[in-house]
């Protein structure tokens, strides 16, 4: 019965989005049913780019609030809806605009680089935005003599500092509760149970920093270890000759991985790595937002104009 209801609801959503000229964007961490009705699925960077180029006048963003804000900033002429206004982000909440202004005052000559997982207010204070896919390249594009304030994710910041060799990066002590909860012990157990598995790890993970040093000193010589964004993981899994993968990120990505690679096995590094905010988006809420055109996400023009500069710089750097 539930399967039938779900199927009928999907059909109705597909009909409505055509009738109302709405494009549905869904993050890789969304539940499978929501990914099924989306026109595009992807990571923050990929979906930001889609938001900038789609023809439809209305975007229904199935993700968390800061993502819908980013779409509204990039496409001010479009209406942006979100199925649940309460779908927030623990990482985004880990720094306030007052804390950032105070930090900038302490380092007046520094360049502020912020992860896309931040509010529009924070983005308006940044010099550059970045995602996990292009954070290293964004930092590499900044003159080496310039101090960098990197926020809000300390694990991604540590990873970027390691990959670029920058000694003048100041890193905010924020974290994503989901990724921070994936421990080196989780990873080791899974890898031991699957001897021939490749290990794909998101740079926001709590295990990233110790894992990076392990990779550097050869501790994983007999394992293939790749530190990748969610979109990078999908591309890598598609190309790889390996049959088994341990995946350290939010479990929602496994649905797409299995869809794209039916002959391969994908195991989460931790079954507990679920974002309750991402999972707040349901088919029923997608339908409700579509039919009532509710939960419009707007960003005041003054903030949007400032934030757009940092976002445009992010979109220009692959």
Annotated binding-site positions for iminosuccinate: 27, 44, 115-117, 132, 202-204, 230
| Cα–Cα nearest to 246, from 179, 190, 180 | 190
Given its phi and psi angles, is residue 21 left (phi above 0), alpha (psi -120 to 50 degrees) or beta? Answer: left
Tell me the sheet residues that pair with 115: 130
Tokens of 278: 């991402």
**What residue has token string 């500069």?**
309
In three-state secondary structure terms, 247 is strand
Q: Residues within the annotated binding site?
A: 27, 44, 89, 115-117, 132, 176, 202-204, 230, 275
Tokens of 138: 């964004």
Tell me the sheet residues that pair with 170: 149
From residue 210, how far is each of 136, 168, 194, 207, 240 by CA, in Å? 18, 21, 21, 6, 25
Report CA 198 to chain centroid distance, whole Å: 22
CA atoms of 134 and 13, how far apart (whole Å) = 33
CA atoms of 136 and 117, how far apart (whole Å) = 16
From residue 150, how far is each of 46, 126, 140, 230 by CA, in Å? 21, 10, 13, 20
Q: Residues within the annotated binding site for [4Fe-4S] cluster?
A: 89, 176, 275
CA atoms of 291 and 45, how far apart (whole Å) = 28
Backbone Cα Rg of the chain = 20
In three-state secondary structure terms, 129 is strand
């Amino acid at each position: 019965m539930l399967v039938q209801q779900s199927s009928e609801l999907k059909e109705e959503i597909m009909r409505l989005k055509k009738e109302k000229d709405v494009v549905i964007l869904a993050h890789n961490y969304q539940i499978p049913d929501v990914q099924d009705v989306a026109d595009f699925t992807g990571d923050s960077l990929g979906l930001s780019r889609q938001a900038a180029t789609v023809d439809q006048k209305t975007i229904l963003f199935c993700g968390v609030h800061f993502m819908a804000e980013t779409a509204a900033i990039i496409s001010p002429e479009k209406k942006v809806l979100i199925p649940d206004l309460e779908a927030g982000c623990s990482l985004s909440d880990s720094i306030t605009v007052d804390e950032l202004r105070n930090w900038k005052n302490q380092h007046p000559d520094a360049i502020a680089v912020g992860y896309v997982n931040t509010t529009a207010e924070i983005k308006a204070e940044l010099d550059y935005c970045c995602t996990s896919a292009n954070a290293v390249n964004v930092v590499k594009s900044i003159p080496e003599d310039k101090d960098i304030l990197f926020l809000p994710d300390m694990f991604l910041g540590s990873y970027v500092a390691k990959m670029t060799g920058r000694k003048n990066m100041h890193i905010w002590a924020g974290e994503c509760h989901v990724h921070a909860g994936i421990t080196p012990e989780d990873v080791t157990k899974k890898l031991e149970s699957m001897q021939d598995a490749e290990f794909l790890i998101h740079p926001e993970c709590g295990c990233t920093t110790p894992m990076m040093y392990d990779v550097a000193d050869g501790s994983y010589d007999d394992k293939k270890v790749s530190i990748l964004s969610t979109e990078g993981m999908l591309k890598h899994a598609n190309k790889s000759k390996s049959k088994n993968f341990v995946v350290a990120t939010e479990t929602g990505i496994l649905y797409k991985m299995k869809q794209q690679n039916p002959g391969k096995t994908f195991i989460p590094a931790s079954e507990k790595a679920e974002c309750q905010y991402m999972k707040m988006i349901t088919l029923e809420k997608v339908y409700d937002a579509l039919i009532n055109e509710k939960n419009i996400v707007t960003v005041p023009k003054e903030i949007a104009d400032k934030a757009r500069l940092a976002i445009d710089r992010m979109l220009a750097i692959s």
